[in-house]
Chain A
Amino acid sequence: MKRTLVALVQDQPGTLNRIASLFRRRAYNIESLTVGHTEHQGISRMTIVVDEPETSSGIVERNLHKLINVLDVEDVTDISAVMHDLALIKIATVNGTRAEIMKIAESFGARILDIGLDTLIVEATAPGEQIDRLVAVLRPFGIAEMVRTGRIAMVRDGAFDSNQTEKENA
């Protein structure tokens, strides 16, 4: 099952390698991974989407906690959180399709970043599934190039942690 983990890590050489190594060792595929600065200097934030077997019961999260360079990890899969992707899509604009494409982009809340003679670039920031739909609609026009950042996540105000770290059947 797909899980979204948010990790705060020390901004040091090798940190990404250590984290990636945990997934590689168990042969879990990383669906997407985004890294960037946070509001604190020297601390980066990673959002990792990973396909983890149901039976693994959060083993990767608990192993991430053990890494010295990892300051905090949270599994936000089951928490109320904003989860967005950013996509840049370059689309061919032959045969006077430009206006139609722009209208579609507008209805998806996407922005036009660049208009060229033969192409234009659309920027969309939205939940991943919404971007999937935009891509599906734009595909017939001819997508020349696309880049997606992968999911980034932030927990909403007042969201509570529904994850029980300790199983209590006793």
Chain B
Amino acid sequence: MRRTGAQIVWEMLRQEGVEVVFGMPGGSIMTTYHPRQEYGVRHVLIRHEQAAAHAADGYARASGRVGVAMTTSGPGATNLTTGIATAMMDSIPMVCITGQVRTSSIGSDAFQEADITGITLPITKHNYLVTDVHDLARTIREAFHIASTGRPGPVLIDLPVDVQTAEMDFKPPEGDVRLPGYRCEAPIDPATVERIAAALADAERPVILAGHGVALSGGAHLLRTMVETAELPVATTLLGKGSFPDRHPLALGMMGMHGTPAANYAIQQADLLLVLGMRFDDRVTGCLDRYAPHARKIHVDLDPAEICKNVQVDLGVVADVHDVLEGLMPLVRRDDRTAWIERIAVWKSDAAEREIVSHLQSDALTGPEALHEIWRTTEGNALVVTDVGQNQMWAAQYYASSRPRSFLSSGGLGTMGFALPAAIGAQIAKPTNEVWVVAGDGGFQMNIQELATVVQEELPLRIAVLNNGYLGMVRQWQEHFYDGRYEATKLWNPDFVRLAEAYGLEAWRGTTVDEAHDAIERAHGCGSACLIEFVVVGEGEEGNVYPMVPAGAALHEMMQRPIPVGVQSRRWSS
């Protein structure tokens, strides 16, 4: 049958099981948009192409399937780049299809021409410029295969106008994708798994570090069974959140710069780290030279380039986390580590006590307070999508997660403006879930235009804007490390409630704990999109994220939440 390039795009997207595409048409891609309706693939029209990439990313994070974004050439394509880099850093499967000027015009500085394959070369897992319609179907198949297998990542396909209009006799490709240079499988060696099991049995102070790879590999349930069997404490990264329940007795919580004392102290005192699917980001390790100095380190990662990249490890295992956990399951047993578990329990109760005494002292509405209330009201069952900065850390600390793919955040790239568009994708992937956006007043305004998309698509997003009148995380750093000079961090803000109402959302403001509580109840019961502006403390200790590991310090040198003056406690008075 005769098919145009445009039709082949939709034929292939349908063959790959794509149900939704996020994008915006323009001169060089409208040819491809034209036949979409005949193929029954949903399209979500975003208001800025960056949001198309984030929405596809959020869809992928929430569902585990490949997210798809489609934009025109030139600015449409370059606007995608922040979203592509975000997905690359966090190993998110995504396919971006961009229009391109005619093949005969490429390189001539034609209208809306940008060398997007050149631009995205270092921020994609792979990319393609299709110059012949006969290569199109194969290319789309390869793109989905590459994006979704091995360590996932974004793939971009650049599609010149004349390839979209060209016709050919089309037959859907069959058989396996043939990519001789692509290695995505890493079979595990039983002897290696036995060595890991032996190391665990030998350890007196073991800690499991769970990264994004646990959820990506579908191994969260195996992790839980394994650590419950062997009674092993687990710390998670920001993106590992949800791959082990935050409130599990063996959970240490998040590690790193704003991690829990239990996680950070345990890492520094451990004699064994079993590291699963994480990449030793500098936000996780603190000072590298003094990171986990007593620990033998076993690093399991599917990407061979991650082994010994930042931290020299004693055993590097290139394998899928799921497979390793499966192999370990019959080999692990419970050993008596009462002393270690008790030491951890002291760190945990100490931190909890600090929280309680500082909380009791304060009537003001704070970021932690707002997040805690959201957690209580939603009973921890919401799918939370955070922005970047203080709001992100508070969400990670005070919204306890229990399921993989229920806490979405831009970890590696730290992209402000991520939350709202990513939540659009997440809500479409999980239409029956209660999805909450958590953003600060700074980051929210980076993609605030997507409120229109939310309303147009009738998505019942709950949006929590923590308004402290600052670029809060930068302000916190200025307070601690830049002489308290708040250079360029004070924000004038619009009236977020009236702004949301203008977009057609229900909106409320919470300036006290009681108001916040009422607003959260209303949002929880609201069937359509709504927004709460939380006016939270912007300065002083209550406006800061604690604990905090200063840049260059080791994890155990973390600054804990200060104890308010006049508080007596058996721990701090002695």
Question: Interface on A for B, CB 8 Å cutoff?
Answer: 9-10, 13-14, 17-18, 21, 25, 57, 59, 62-63, 65-72, 165-170
Contacts and interface: CB of A to CB of B under 8 A. Distances in A.
Given A62-B305, A65-B304, A68-B182, A166 B121 contact: no
B375 to A, nearest CB: 39
A57 B183 CA distance: 21
Nearest to A66: B305
Contacts of A63: 305
The bracket for how many chain B residues form the interface is 20 to 34
A168 B199 CA distance: 13
B494 interface: no
Interface stretch (B309-317, B406-414, B460-468): B309-317
A72 B199 CA distance: 33
Interface in B283-326: 296, 298, 303-305, 307-309, 312-316
Contacts of B36: none
Contact of B146 (A9, A13, A68): A68
- Identify the 9 closest CB pairs spanning chains A and B, nearest first: A62-B305, A170-B315, A170-B314, A71-B181, A68-B126, A63-B305, A62-B304, A68-B182, A169-B314
Nearest to A69: B181
A57 B304 CA distance: 12
Given A70-B181, A170-B296, A59 B305 contact: yes
A166 B312 CA distance: 11
Contacts of A13: 129
Given A59-B305, A67-B181, A166 B316 contact: yes
Contact of B180 (A14, A25, A71): A71
Nearest to B127: A14
A25 B122 contact: yes
B121 A18 contact: yes
B430 interface: no
A21 B124 CA distance: 12
Say what secondary structure dominates the interface of chain B. mixed
Given A166-B316, A170-B314, A14 B117 contact: yes
A156 to B, nearest CB: 26
Contacts of A59: 305, 309
Contacts of B303: 66
A165 B317 CA distance: 11
Contacts of B315: 166-168, 170
Contacts of A167: 308, 312-316
Contacts of A18: 121
B195 interface: yes
B181 A68 contact: yes
Given A167-B313, A170-B298, A170-B314, A65 B183 contact: yes
A10 B181 contact: yes
A168 B296 CA distance: 12
A66 B150 CA distance: 10
A131 to B, nearest CB: 33
Contacts of B181: 9-10, 67-72
A131 B535 CA distance: 73
A68 B153 CA distance: 13
A25 B88 CA distance: 15
Contacts of B330: none
Nearest to A14: B117
B17 interface: no
A21 B121 contact: yes
Contacts of B312: 57, 167
Nearest to A24: B122
B179 interface: yes
B543 to A, nearest CB: 38
Contacts of B540: none
A59 B316 CA distance: 14
B566 interface: no
A167 B313 CA distance: 8
B258 to A, nearest CB: 28
A68 B179 contact: yes
A70 B180 CA distance: 9
B118 interface: yes
Contacts of A169: 314
A25 B121 CA distance: 11
